[in-house]
Structure 1
């Protein structure tokens, strides 16, 4: 008797079928609308199966890293989404903190849903004090742990924590060990900043790398501007 495919095998097979059928549109290989409609109906049915078979929920560790722009911006989009659903968000900035941004002003219009802490004092070339920088990172990490253990917070954003680990102010292993010690964690944690360690990337559930293709500061000598950079 042939064994039934496991759940992971079903997911793999359905994903492959979806990829083969494609997204549709004018690049679809179908020559007439009837065959195109049939293909898209198959795609719709498979998509329904893909959604139905995925039933597990868990607190995720999400990483936004890479040399491209948009890591903090992506995490703050998640913050807005979370607040929109009526949940609480904690944002702890490990490096940034020397200036006020538009997103901070906007999100602070939701005081009952947001806790925002800018504990960094700026980039290393601005602070020029490794001892104080490390002290502030450790203080930020201790605060972060309290929020992570607080089940009333649905999303915790640790902004630029990847840079803090890259600079040697906080060990990636310490982050992983702490998260592993939490059983049945329901909230989502976002780590931002370039240079995420391999161990963090391997442990995370979702990792996105922002890749730099063009930047006006670099190619055109254009200064940072409101609404784009801060």
Structure 2
């Protein structure tokens, strides 16, 4: 491609993008769903959280499942003055093997989340691994959808998990699917600190 062809192409692209930017005039918080069977959903959520904290915003994290081991992200963020972190899970469902206990943990986590979704002091809330609560029927989607729709207008919410309940997808602003093309674990590579947790 010649330099002049490249310049023409980039100018046309800039015009399209500038037009899209001009049309996006609404200012409000968004609901982001990070789903799929690939690695990196929670990591993406925590990257966005770090970005918001960098802008001086207040955030909160509720981990619905990851409760048995201190993760690297928790160790990194735990002392941040603008962040509240709640580890509510009892471990993965195949580890606890106690449905009633898992339901009670999910309900306790939801009570904290509901309070945060009513508090205008919070700019970004990460509900990590919440999607499993619907997959295993630990929580009903109806009150969660209602709370998400009534949250303060500026508040951003990120929900992670492999599968995502349809009622959440229907109200989401952004949905990203992380696809699993290959994973080291299936090739016998042990999970390691800093990569998997």
| Range of TM-score over shorter length | over 0.9
Q: Which residue of 2 aligns with 1:101?
A: 71
1:228 aligns with 2:195: yes
Q: 2:193 aligned with 1:214, yes or no?
A: no
1:97–1:122 CA contact under 8 A, matched in 2 = yes
Among residues 145, 163, 169, which one is paired with 2:114 in the alignment? 145
Give 1:222 deviation, angstroms: 1.1
Larger Rg: 1
CA drift of 1:125 comes to 1.9
Structure 2 equivalent of residue 62 of structure 1 = 32
Superposition deviation, residue 183 in structure 1: 6.3
The question of whether the paired residues in 2 share the 8 Å contact of 1:58 and 1:184 is answered with no
Moved over 6 A (4+): none
Q: Is the 8 A contact 2:117 2:147 kept in 1?
A: no
Alignment partners' CA distance in 1, 2:152 and 2:49: 22
| Cα separation, 2, equivalents of 1:46 and 1:213 | 32
The CA deviation at 1:42 is: 2.3
Q: Which has the higher contact order (CA 8 A, sep 6+)?
A: 2
* Distance apart, 1:135 and its partner CA: 0.7
What is the CA–CA distance in structure 2 between the aligned matches of 1:173 and 1:183, rounded to whole Å? 14
Unaligned runs of 5+ in 2: none
CA positional deviation for 1:38 = 2.1
- 8 Å CA contact 2:32, 2:158 repeated in 1: yes
Q: Which shifted more, 80-89 or 194-203?
A: 194-203
Query: TM-score by structure 1 length?
Result: 0.82
**Distance (Å, rounded) in 2 between the aligned partners of 1:176 and 1:190:** 13
* Deviation at residue 69 of structure 1 after TM alignment: 0.7
Q: How many angstroms apart in 2 are the aligned matches of 1:107 and 1:178?
A: 26
Q: In the alignment, which residue of structure 1 is the partner of 2:59? A: 89
Matched residue SS, 2:68: coil
Partner of 1:43: 13
For structure 1, which runs of at least 5 residues remain unmatched after alignment? 1-30
Q: RMSD of the alignment, in Å? A: 1.3
Alignment match, 1:166: 135
Q: How many residues align?
A: 197
Matched-pair contact (CA < 8 Å) for 2:117–2:152? no
- TM (norm. structure 2) is 0.95
